[in-house]
Homo-oligomer: A and B are copies of this chain.
Amino acid sequence: MNQTYSINTLSRDFEITPRALRFYEDKGILSPERRGTTRIYSERDRTRLKLTLRGKRLGLKLEECREIIDMYDPSQSDDSLQLLRLCEKIREHRASLLTKIKDIEETMRAMDDVEGKCLGKLLKNAA
């Protein structure tokens, strides 16, 4: 356990460049330890990276990814105010995700429509 990863291993695993990993570190998303000068990524780094890339696929900025990942980090304080703020953030985030789902659904419908017409024409052509 306590698996660790080199920068090259990790970059290969996720099909990104080492440069990107260093960049994410610069942005405060990852914080690998060092053995001498060499970066050692932990399982936590790996998880945060995974979440980051997921966020990116959904069109989030790195900064937004970091914010969200930090919030969801199991280091929640016990302060009620902070907790309420977290709930509010979650509410907002959920809303934006619901919008995205709507967008996707509408796009899907349009695609089905176009595909239908497309297949219709192909059938005609084949006849």
Contacts and interface: CB of A to CB of B under 8 A. Distances in A.
A7 B7 CA distance: 49
Contact of A57 (B72, B103, B111, B121): B103
Identical chains in the assembly: 2
A54 B103 contact: yes
A107 B54 contact: yes
B107 A97 contact: yes
A16 interface: no
Q: Report the interface size class on chain A.
A: 35 or more
Interface of A is mostly: helix
A8 to B, nearest CB: 26
Nearest to A60: B59
A125 interface: yes
A1 interface: no
Contact of A59 (B57, B76, B107): B57
